[in-house]
Amino acid sequence: MRMVDLIEKKRDGKELTSEEIQFIIEGYTNNTIPDYQMSALTMAIYFQGMNERERADLTMAMVHSGDTIDLSAIEGVKVDKHSTGGVGDTTTLVLGPLVAALGVPVAKMSGRGLGHTGGTIDKLEAVKGFHVEIENDEFIRLVNENKLAVIGQSGNLTPADKKLYALRDVTGTVNSIPLIASSIMSKKIAAGADAICLDVKTGAGAFMKTIEDSRELAKAMVNIGNNVGRKTMAVISDMSQPLGYAIGNALEVKEAIDTLRGEGPDDLTELCLTLGSHMVYLAGKATTLEEAREKLLEVISNGKALESFKTFLQSQGGDPEVVDNPSKLPQAKYTFDLPSLEDGYISEIIADEIGTAAMMLGAGRATKESIIDLAVGIVLHKKIGDEVKKGESLLTIYSNQEEIEDVKQKLYDNIIMSKQKVTAPILIHEEIG
Ligand code: URA
Ligand code: CA
């Protein structure tokens, strides 16, 4: 087989066979296919697309390009949740303990990464003593015992995706539905998921800005999952404004605790109940989505969800007392309220810019070397549609620096007011699969 023939085939809009896709991914992973040929192929895919079978083959070829995690020693259906990324997205911290309280095994492999705030692991490390450096056997044992454990990324998972994503990043080919969908799904499958629950964000703060693009990506991923034997569903949820109120690491841990207690923000609570219902249903712990939701509400009101969070923290060295006493989480030196400059209604809270403001305070990493300040961040007091009086606090800033005029200005610039009434955005647009 010659790579040049395969590039021409795709360029001309023809279908690549399973063997051809396998050849391409193997060759690219072991460096026998050079970047220049691979970039020509990704550009051809960008313009010509891939059919369902090609997408499934590409996904599985990337899964098999490196190690895969074997979770078969864990009893039950391992359901993984994935979010395409947003601002102040605290759902993983809530969903883990919430569904674990109903016996759904959550074996989470998580990362740090770049962004407005830290990843799930960074957030959890705001709890004193908590760590993810555990051996594989210990990880499996903890999931069997407590139904929930988090481990850092280990092994050589989907090296083909790593290489390909970096190449796409510099060749104008990130934004291709077949390539994005296979990239995300390959990572979930390599990490051992039996079933996958996707949260595809839509709006200003999301990777996909329009509902049409979000729907297309969601459907592409659901089809891939189901075509390769993993029950998969997707929710399309709003990311025009940050989710919940808190944006920051320790602040989001506190928000997760509030939510597990039944006292969290409405949007975060509703999204967790929706995603959680699907996870419980996919895991076979309820026969309908309605039954799953009732069970979730029950473990919130009887305290079992909170108890599950405590057990989880303690089992990985964390101080479980933060749950009853969140003041034990890292605290910022200064707090500043941002008063509204006028009367009106909130019409926009531009999510990615608010996230950048949190990063300027130190809540997230701008580069891999940056050190996160777990205590800092932003807590909103108003969301889109809320009425505000002049002088009323829009949000509180938690900072370890005193001089933060640039952050305040950025926040003012990205909270847009209207004199007219504004309706709140729809939180859950669609459920697919
Ligand atoms: N996220 C991924 O993991 N892969 C993509 O291709 C795009 C976003
Ligand atoms: Ca939040």
CA of 89 to the centre of ligand 2 (A): 5
The rounded distance, in Å, linking the Cα atoms of 160 and 295 is 40
Give the residue, by CA position, lying nearest to ligand 1 atom 2.
Answer: 184
Amino acid at 397: I
Give the end-to-end CA distance of the chain in Å, rounded to a whole number: 37
> Is 114 a residue whose pLDDT tops 80?
no
CA of 19 to the centre of ligand 1 (A): 24
Collect all residues with Cβ–Cβ distance below 8 Å to 377 and sequence separation of at least 6. Answer: 117, 246, 247, 248, 249, 250, 251, 252, 358, 361, 363, 398
Q: Return the number of other C-beta atoms located less than 10 Å from residue 185's C-beta.
A: 32
Asked if 75 contacts 193 with a C-beta cutoff of 8 angstroms, the reply is no
Which of 184, 189, 196, 198 for mutating ligand 1's site (highest number of atoms within 8 Å of CB)?
Answer: 184
CB contact burial 74-100 (16+ within 10 A = b; e otherwise): bebbbbbbbbbbbbbbbbbbbbbbbbb
**Mean pLDDT in residue range 58-84:** 95
Which of 59, 63, 165 for mutating ligand 1's site (highest number of atoms within 8 Å of CB)?
Answer: 165
Residue 207: pLDDT band with limits 50, 70, 90: confident
What is the ipTM for the molecules in this complex? 0.92
In the set 183, 240, 277, 315, the catalytic residue is 183
The rounded distance, in Å, linking the Cα atoms of 64 and 158 is 7
> Is 368 a residue whose pLDDT tops 90?
no
Give the residue, by CA position, lying nearest to ligand 1 atom 7.
Answer: 180
183 as an active site residue: the answer is yes
What's the pLDDT tens digit per position in 136-195?
999 999 999 999 999 988 789 999 999 999 999 999 999 999 999 999 999 999 999 999
The model's pTM is 0.95
In the set 82, 215, 230, 410, the catalytic residue is 82
**Mean pLDDT in residue range 304-319:** 98
413 as an active site residue: the answer is no
Q: Check if 184 has its Cβ closer than 6 Å to any atom of ligand 1.
A: yes
Q: What is the mean pLDDT of the chain?
A: 96
Amino acid at 143: V
Q: Check if 167 has its Cβ closer than 6 Å to any atom of ligand 1.
A: no
55 as an active site residue: the answer is no
Asked if 110 contacts 150 with a C-beta cutoff of 8 angstroms, the reply is yes
168 as an active site residue: the answer is yes
> Is 293 a residue whose pLDDT tops 80?
yes
* Mode of pairing for the β-strands spanning 106-110 and 231-238: unpaired
